[in-house]
Every structure is written in structure tokens, then in C-alpha cells.
Structure 1
């Protein structure tokens, strides 16, 4: 396994330990704690491997409870909200190119194909202190959340993701469709998609 696969597995392992039945506040706090625990464990393992070793993974986590949602993330994995026929990106990439876009030095269109498009500025395991961003909101009936790795988001782009959602599909079938589209587009990065529909 490469460093990314080991790091991703550690993140999943920590999140799987979360108990069921937590309140919204407890769930958010425990999820944050699980990611901080994964970060500390990955930093320890990297130090044990020697100078220059890095075990890191981007993460995006969606929590839905009692009519509200919260999304935590670090890196360039994304969460989108599809509501009433409109796609909204809820997350902002923690990446070198996003910083260039924010400062006006690079257009959104050129960002995905920039030579440093895969350079993230935050990730679980990358630094001793993990900084997670959070966005919260209310859930409406029919909302659909799409969580993607950079291999889907960057190689397809927001317009193609929206087109796939307009074309329809449910749950795993829609996620599989996004993955197949990213692969057909020639993605050479991690290709992951999760779709969550709210009743």
C-alpha cells in the first residue's frame, strides 16, 4: 500500500468506531475527534518510518441528523448539494491552485489543469495540527448530497456532475455513473463518489 491508501484506511477505521445513537452535537464532536485521532496516529507512524515519510489523506465527511447537516473536510475532496435542480459546491478546496483562484491569479477553468492541481494544503496526517473546515445548514426534502474525491470532481467538473444528476439515477447507481464518467474522462487520480438522498 502507498501512503495515501494507508492514511485513508486509518481515517475509515477511526470513523467506523463512532457509536450509533449520538445526538447531533455529540456526533459532530466525536467525528472531529476521530479525525484528530487518525491524524495523530498517522503522524506517529510517519515519524517511525523515518525522515521524509508522509502518510496523508484528504477527507470529506457528511453528517445528517434531525433536519440539519454538517460537513467537515480537509483537502480537495468535495461535497456538493443538489437542490431543486441546482448544484452547489459546499466545500472549498484546501489546495495551492484554490489559493491562486482566490487571489485572482488563476481562473476556475484553468485550475483543474494547472501543473500543481494535486498539491493540497491540508490533509489528515500532513501536519501535527489538523485544521478542519465546517459548513452546516438545514436539510430539505429531496436534497441530494454528492461527496467526491478529486479524481471525480476535477476530471468531470461541476457542469458534468450537474448533467449526470439531471440525467437521473439513485444512490449507488448514480455514484457508479459518476465514477464511470471520471474513468472515461481519463482520470488518473483517486476516483470515489458517494451519493446521499434525503427523504
Structure 2
């Protein structure tokens, strides 16, 4: 069994929501994602929407695959989504999306990411819990001058190089997928406290509400998406 909860909201200042997020479960198998359409470019919501469509279609037939085969097919899915976005983008325009995917089955997980949407893992430790970021932000370094902090990789724009990480599940682990609209506007201490509580109590919706309240207290200047996932082993 896998518990999960999802938020995908426009925020307080944006006129449209360019994020897409969601998940599906079947017993001990689950597929979860966050896609954040690139703001300031052509139809970011179209890019994230294409990725959401590809994942929903794949889930229909892919959820019974072994973990290694599924991870390989999900990489191919990202390549296919990248090609679709590029084909549907008018000449001279730039359209793309970040993407983070979590696949869970049979006591193992696979994590695929492009861009700066993140996945955190919260695990039990002797004195409480520890939260660590499993993904790496694909952004230009501070040495890049005026372009520092901009995306260096995205699906549909620039280079689409997929980072892949696999591992075994441990009892009581909580995974958190989120767009930058969450981690940029929710203080780290508050975020980690809410995640530690969610891992311990399994009250995922309550934790998601706490995190959302912190983002809204900062006037939620960006779209924000959050998916909390807790496998029950």
C-alpha cells in the first residue's frame, strides 16, 4: 500500500497554472510526478501538460513491469515528451518543463529528474528524522554571471539529460516531490519539521496543509506543486 497526497495550485500572483502534478497507485506500485512549465517562455503549461499526458498513458500498461524495465521505459517516455514539445513549439519560441518522477514497486524505487523540481527523502534516525534532497538542481552556477540560477536542463528546451537514481525502500520513509514554488517560499526548518511529522504520523494531508500555509504566507508568487508519498511496508 502507498499513501499519497497532491497539491497543484496557481498561487496568488500568476494568472495561469503552468505546473502539473499527480500520481497513481496499484497495491505496492506507484507512479508520481511534478512538472513545472518554464515561466517567461511560450506556453509552459503546454509542455508540462504533454508530460502529464505521457505519464498517464504509460501508467495504463507500464505499472506491471519490473523496476529496471520501468525505469528504462520512463527514460524513453521523457525523450518522447521532449520531442513532442519541440515539434509543437513555433519557430523562434522556447517551450519546456522541469520534471521529477518517482516510481515505486516491490520494495524499490527509481527517481528520474530534469531541471530544478526536487525530490526529498525523509527517514527515521535515532533522534528524530533526517530529510535529504535526492535530486540535483540543474541550474547554472553563480559563476555564470547574469544567467546564474537559470535552468541548464529542461524537457523540450535546451539539453534534456535525465538524472536517474535507484534504491531500496526502508520502513517509514517519506518522499516529497515539489516544484520551486514550494521550496523557494517555504522556510527550510518549517518544511523539514512538517515532513518529519508526516513521516511519523502518516497524516500527509495535514502536513501538506502546513506547508501550503507557509507558502501562502509569503504571498505565493509562483505556481506551486507538492506530492507527498509514504509507502507502507
1:179 has 2:212 as partner: yes
**CA 1:149–1:42: 2 relative to 1, 3 Å:** same
Q: Tell me the alpha carbon deviations over residues 118-164 of structure 1, each in whole angstroms, 9 at most, x when there is no partner.
A: 6211111113x520111222110110000010110122243221022
Shift of 1:93: 0.3
TM-score (norm 2): 0.71
The match for 2:135 is 91
Q: Which has a greater percent of strand? A: 2
On the 8 A contact 2:194/2:211 being kept in 1, the answer is: yes
Q: Secondary structure at the match of 1:178?
A: helix
Q: Check if 1:69 corresponds to 2:109.
A: yes
Trace 1:70-149 onto structure 2 (pairs within 5 A).
Answer: 70-84=110-124, 85-96=129-140, 99-100=141-142, 119-127=150-158, 130-149=160-179
- Asked whether the equivalents of residues 138 and 152 of structure 2 are also in contact (C-alpha less than 8 Å), the reply is yes
Is the contact between residue 15 and residue 35 of structure 1 (CA under 8 Å) also seen in structure 2?
Answer: no
How far did 1:170 drift? 2.4
- Indicate the RMSD between aligned Cα atoms, in angstroms: 2.3
Q: Does the 8 Å CA contact 2:122/2:196 hold for their aligned counterparts? A: no
What number of residue pairs does the alignment pair up?
182
Which SS does the other structure have where 1:11 is aligned?
A: helix
The structure 1 segments of at least 4 consecutive aligned residues displaced by more than 4 Å after TM superposition are 115-118
Whether the 8 Å contact between 2:67 and 2:110 is mirrored in structure 1 is no
The one of the two structures with greater contact order (alpha-carbon pairs below 8 A, sep at least 6) is: 2
Paired residue for 1:31?
Answer: 74
Structure 1: runs of 5+ lacking an equivalent = 106-114
Runs of 5+ unmatched residues, structure 2 = 1-15, 17-41
2:57 to 17, 28, 39: 17
**How high is the TM-score relative to the length of structure 1?**
0.82
Q: Deviations over 1:14-41 (max 9, x none)?
A: 1111122111112111111111111001
Aligned with 1:156: secondary structure? coil
Superposed displacement of residue 177, structure 1: 3.0
- Does structure 2 retain, via aligned residues, the 8 Å contact 1:176–1:193? no
Call closer, same or farther: CA 1:176–1:7 in 2, change over 3 Å: farther
1:158–1:116 distance in 2 versus 1, CA, 3 Å: farther
